[in-house]
Amino acid sequence: MQINGATELYGIMGNPVRHSLSPAMHNAAFGALDLNKVYVPFAVEDVAAAMTGFRAMGVKGVSVTIPHKQAVIEHLDSIDPVAKKIGAVNTLVINHAKIHGLNTDWLGANRALAEQIEIKGSSVLLLGAGGSARAIGFGLLEAGAAVTIASRTPATGRALADSLGVNWLPIAKAPGHQADILINATSVGMTPKEEQSPIAATALADYKVVMDIVYAPLDTKLLQEAELAGCRTVNGLAMLLYQGVAQFETWTGRAAPVDLMQKSLLTSLGYTKE
C-alpha cells in the first residue's frame, strides 16, 4: 500500500503505546482488503489535546488503551449505551469532527467464549476487579450469563460487584465456588511471572471452560493446568483479536479478515499458527 493524499488515518492512543500489537493487526487487515487506510500508534499524555487534534486532522478512528479508557469519555460527542454502563471506551469513531465512543472489549471476550460454550444461561466466576473485568462482566450480563466477582481487594471487588448487581467473594474462596466458566481478568501469570496462577489446579475440574485474558505467555500456567483438568480453554489472544475485529468492522463496514489478523498477532508475539 502506498500512502497518499487520500489515505485515511487510524490509530491507537495510550501511554505507553509502543508495545501495542494493534498496528500490525489492523494494517494487515487494511492491506488484505486493499483499503487506503493506515493505522499508527499515538503516544498520548494530554487526552483533551489529543481529541482536539484527532478532530482537526480528520482522523477516522482510534483505539483507546491504558490509561485513557475513562478519561476520553468527557471529550466525546456521543457514547454507546453499553460503553456508558461499563464506564470505559476503547474505540472512537470520528465523522465530520464528531467523536462517538464505544467499547469492543466485551464483544471480544464474548465472541471468544462463544466459540467454546453457550454464554446465555451459563454461570461465570470472574477473577479481578479492574477495567478488563468490568468490561467483561457487563458483556457477560448483556449476553445472559450469571456472574460472580472474586478479587483480592474487597473494596474494589465489592464496588464492581455492586455496579454489576452481582455477588462478590474473596479470591481465597474462589476454589470452592461452582460455575460453568472461569475467567482470569487479572495480570497473574503474565511474563515475567509465568509460574503463577490465580487459582489452585485442584479446583479447575469444576469448570467447563477456562479463559485467561493474559496473552504473554500465550499458554499460561492457568491454561496448561486447565487443559490437564479436562477443561476447554480460551487464551488471551482470542479476546484481543475479536475486540480488534469488532473495531475494524465498525470502522470499515466490511467483514474482517479474521484469520489474517490472528496470524499477524501470532507473528508479532513470535508464534506461528499451526
In this prediction, residues 127-156 reach a mean pLDDT of 95
Give dist(CA 170, CA 50) in Å, integer: 39
**Residue 101: its pLDDT value, please?**
98
Give dist(CA 65, CA 21) in Å, integer: 12
Tens-place pLDDT, residues 92-131: 999 999 999 999 999 999 999 999 999 999 999 999 998 8
**Residue 1: its pLDDT value, please?**
64
Query: In whole numbers, what is the pLDDT of the chain averaged over residues?
Result: 95
Q: Which of 36-40, 60-64, 176-180 has the lowest mean pLDDT?
A: 176-180
Categorize the per-residue pLDDT at 44 as very low, low, confident or very high, splitting at 50, 70 and 90: very high
**Residue 2: its pLDDT value, please?**
81
Task: In the chain, count H helices and then E strands.
Answer: 9, 12
**Residue 221: its pLDDT value, please?**
97
**Residue 271: its pLDDT value, please?**
81
In this prediction, residues 216-233 reach a mean pLDDT of 96
What SS3 string covers 151-218? ECCHHHHHHHHHHHCCEEEEHHHHHHCCCCEEEECCCCCCCCCCCCCCCCHHHHHHCCEEEECCCCCC
In this prediction, residues 166-193 reach a mean pLDDT of 93
Nearest to 76 by CA among 176, 7, 90, 66: 90
Give dist(CA 37, CA 165) in Å, integer: 41
Which domains does the chain show, CATH number per domain? 8-103+244-268 (3.40.50.10860), 107-234 (3.40.50.720)
Is pTM beyond 0.85? Reply is: yes
Active site amino acids: 69
Q: Any residues with CB less than 8 A from the CB of 112 and at least 6 apart, and which?
A: 211, 234, 238, 239, 241, 242
Element (H, E) at 92: strand 91-95
**Residue 114 has which C-alpha cell?**
462463544
